[in-house]
Amino acid sequence: MSEAAKKPKRPRVNVRRPDVMTQVNAEVERHFRSSLVEKIRAAGGEITLGNTTVRLAQQFGFCYGVERAIDLAYASRRVFPDNRIFLIGEIIHNGEVNRQLVDMGIVSLPWEQLTGDYDQLGEEDVVIVPAFGAPTNFMDKIEQRGCYVVDTTCGDVMKVWRRVRTYAKDGITSIIHGKAGHEETRATASRAMGENGKGHYLIVLTLDETDSVCRYIREGGDKVAFLERFAHAVSDGFDPDLHLTKVGVANQTTMLKSETEEIQRRVRDAVVARDGSPDNYLVFDTICGATQERQDALFEMLRRPMDMLFVVGGYNSSNTTHLVEIGEQELPTFFIRNAECLESLDQIVHFDLHEKSEISSGYPDVLLGDQPAVIGITAGASCPNNLIEDTIFRIFEMRGVPRDQVKAI
């Protein structure tokens, strides 16, 4: 039994007090909301000025889980005005939001691994758990240190945890579709070990990795080579000859829905080919509702002609990345952090998913020309509306429409 299990847990503190939340809501509104975006949404999601049309996806930006996490982080500072407040990593994957927390004196702790920083925590310190959650060993450590804990973990993420814990309890290996180094996937993988730490998991990201796993399920193979390929994506003691016998698929909640479904299908087919039945295969739909809504809204948006698309959000945001992947299949798509990426009349700074780096490109002719243009905007679940507003202003500015004219709509 760990030290954290031996020591009584400090009761979780309720920071969502009515008096506090009134102030928090006003502060969040001031920092992140946009009256312009709300006006455009109320007008059907489209605005045309001169020969320029800006079209918004029907669903984009902050989801409920993100709003809740931000509210709790802001409330923590008001409930504990004089305490040291720490955050495991980032509250969400958006630089603007995280900068606001830094300005409030909230200090980010390393999230890749437990470091000596955690040994310096004391009983009067407050630790915020981000929307992605945190691995069990992190939770054990902060409870061992006796800290106040403000847990902002998204409810959809916790649903996945319940599923993989059930898999572990029943001797089923969790195959997790996700990014092995992502905070949420690491937190989920730790729960897939089960209450006794003897459960197992395997993380796959691509269809190519999935096919490698499926071949092993069907035919067996070179165990050493398999474990080398998935060295950083399996549980301790993982043995593919033993732990691929009964499998259950789960996923990082922000993955591309169609890809998760294809992974599920391929794994099921492999189990059926080996066993003659799907009895040793389980699946549970764990795609986040907000992620699905934003993907579906973009697919619907792409049914109508547009000249280009901007996807706004943090470059390390998984759900935002998948929106870019969807868009670039259909039209010129630019993944930008904020309006500052629209630097000048001849440069867009944007993240290239294939190069995996930020690059600078010339503006497409559509932005600089005199012909009518329809420009789409969407954003991931971690992007605040004020960044969308800034992007709208900048697009119109590039097309010769002054800010005052946009404000007057």
In eight-state DSSP terms, residue 10 is: P
Which residues, 6 or more positions from 82, have their beta carbon under 8 angstroms from its beta carbon?
Answer: none
Over residues 62-109, the pLDDT tens digits come to 999 999 999 999 999 999 999 999 999 999 999 999 999 999 999 999
- Given a cut of 80, whether residue 13 has pLDDT beyond it is no
Task: Identify the pLDDT of residue 142.
Answer: 95
* Burial of residue 409 (number of CB atoms within 10 Å: 0-12, 13-18, 19+): exposed
Q: What is the mean pLDDT of residues 137-164?
A: 95
Q: How confident is the model at residue 4 (pLDDT cuts 50, 70, 90)?
A: very low
Task: Identify the pLDDT of residue 2.
Answer: 45
List strand residue ranges (DSSP E) for 19-111, in order: 46-49, 52-56, 85-88, 106-109
Q: How confident is the model at residue 141 (pLDDT cuts 50, 70, 90)?
A: very high
Nearest to 125 by CA among 87, 180, 74: 87
**Structural domains of the chain, with CATH:** 29-63+290-407 (3.40.1010.20), 64-153 (3.40.50.11270), 156-287 (3.40.1010.20)
Q: How confident is the model at residue 3 (pLDDT cuts 50, 70, 90)?
A: very low
* β-bridge mates for residue 347, sequence order: 344
- Given a cut of 90, whether residue 1 has pLDDT beyond it is no
Task: Identify the pLDDT of residue 257.
Answer: 86
Which amino acid is located at 58 in the chain? Q
Task: Identify the pLDDT of residue 345.
Answer: 62
Average pLDDT, the chain: 93
Q: How confident is the model at residue 202 (pLDDT cuts 50, 70, 90)?
A: very high
Task: Identify the pLDDT of residue 7.
Answer: 54
29 is catalytic: no
- Given a cut of 80, whether residue 6 has pLDDT beyond it is no
Catalytic residue, candidates 27, 90, 184, 389: 184
* Burial of residue 269 (number of CB atoms within 10 Å: 0-12, 13-18, 19+): middle
Over residues 240-274, the pLDDT tens digits come to 999 999 999 999 998 988 899 999 999 999 999 99
Calpha distance 90→112 (Å, rounded)? 11
